[in-house]
Every structure is written in structure tokens, then in C-alpha cells.
Structure 1
């Protein structure tokens, strides 16, 4: 590819740089990145306080800019800067949503706390069933208070309040694996008592 035009890349418009990028010119993308770095930072700024690293969002923004440059078609109704802004934002939001979905997944080797059995109040008003349910709940409460360690109790309470493994780990200042191990021990201990 003839690189004579590289001397004047700074004088090119954004849409001209996009044409060069579509032809495979890496220098044109470097120039375009320099122009859009502030926009990438602005689009990713609302997500900086989340659990992902700031650089991850900026990288996703760069992918959005590259996608915009590779797919932009002049004369389709919008300027390159508008199109690039949408592509950058879409890539950042997609990365955020993907990270949230992955964060909610339990780690490998996850063992559920129960096998699908529930401990809710019985639907019937039969006194015998109510009494048996009450005794079972008292046994579970006794087991939680006397058999589980303090750490296991804290992990269980956080888990039952809907915290993810990552949130439990963060609140208790332990690793996600330690939270998973604690919940597995809880499950095993409670199963022995039931």
C-alpha cells in the first residue's frame, strides 16, 4: 500500500481516515484514536466505579471506534463522529452487561445450597403439618447457630439475602473461592442434621 498520504493524515477528515482504515492502514487508526480518545473516556466514565477496570472500558471503546471506522459509509445520513459515538457507547454497554452476567454466575465447582427443597410455610393449615414444619425450622435454626462457624453463618446470611459470590467476597474481604467453600461446608453440615 502506498504510504505517501501518511504525511498529511492530520489534515484528513475523520471519514477520510475511516476509508484508509478500511484499506488496512494502521497509522490512520492511530490518528483517529488520538482524536477520539477523550470521547472514549467520556463514554466509559459512568462505568468506572463498577467492578470492571477502567482500562477494560477504554479498550472496549477503542473496539467500538475501530468497528465504526471499518463499517462507516459516507452519505448514509450521519456524520462519522455521530456514528463513532454510538458504536463506542454500544461496545462499552455491551461489555458492562456481559460482565454483570458473568459476575452473577457461580464459580466452577459450585454446589447449590439445597437440592430444590424449600423451607417455606406449608400451604395447608393441618396442625400436624404446621407443627412438623415448625420443628424442622427450629432444627435448622439450631444447626445454623450451633454447628456452623461464625464465618459460615455470615456467608449464609449474605447468600440468603441475595448476594452474589463476588459481593460476599467483597463484603467479607475473602476470595470468591473461600465464599464458595464456606457455602459447601454449610450445605454438608445442614444435610447431616436433616
Structure 2
């Protein structure tokens, strides 16, 4: 039972109407309702701000990754193109010189491999003109029977034919150099195309 009838009434009369003062319980309920409404609105604002922030961060991260990928590929392509002079000097100067120096040794090595498979069979080495002395100086003296060395004017630089018994091999270092040079050219061409398409 309420004790309101025992207490003095402080209701204020304004312009003929009564202003009702809230009791403590009603005031507390109104405060809780206002707090919950404010808390809910704040929570909704925070969730919306977080979603916007996530969307912005995701977009910025995606753009950064895309820029990094483009920059990386562009850098690799430019590096490849900067190596073009090195590729040219390798295929036009260094490799031909290395093959030229190792040509005779390569022929003798292959001849010895063939001789192991066919013991005591006649051996022939056909080389380009002017190369017989280089090859002859590298043939082992204990190789039996001694191979016959023939200079063949139809053979170009880096070419030779080996025969042991019925087995034959052709050596074509110039074809190897050509294929290496084509591979370098193709690699550089693809790099240029990739750079022009970016």
C-alpha cells in the first residue's frame, strides 16, 4: 500500500493544467528506457562505423596488393630487358668461344664412349677443315685401333661425324648455339610483350 496520501502534494499548476511529477520508480524506468535507447543507437552507430571501416580497409588492402603485384611484375620484366645485352654477348661471343675451345675434347670423349661399346672396331672422326690437329692432340695414345681422322670440307664450324664400327653420331655445336640464341631472343621478346601490355 502506498503512503502517498500521507505526504504533501507538490503538483504545480501551470496555465490551468496540472504538471505531474514522477515518482522515483517511474523516473528510474524512464532513465533505463532512455539509457537503453541511447545504448542501442550507439551500438548501431558503432557497428555501422566498423563495417564502413572494414570495407575501406579491405578496398585499400586490395588496391595495395594489386599495386604491389603490378610493380613486382613490371620490375621483373624491366630486369629481364636490362639483361638483353648480356644474353646477346653470351650467345654471340662467350658460348661460341667456350664451345670452340671444348670442341675437340667433346669429340674425343664421345669417341671413347662409343669405342667402349664396340671394342676393336674401326673408328673415324670427320671434322671441318683445319680442326684435325686440335682433335688429334687429344686422342689417347692407348686407344686401339687408332682412329682415322678425316677433314671434311662439307662440315661447318662446330660440326663433326663420329663412327665406330656401324655406330654413328653427329655433333652439331652450331645448332646448339642457334637454339640457345633463339631461346634468349624468345625470352626477351615475351618480356617486351608483357611490358607493352601493361
For normalisation by structure 1, the TM-score amounts to: 0.23
* Bigger share in helix: 1
* Bigger share in strand: 2
**Larger RCO, structures 1/2 (Cα 8 Å, 6+ apart):** 2
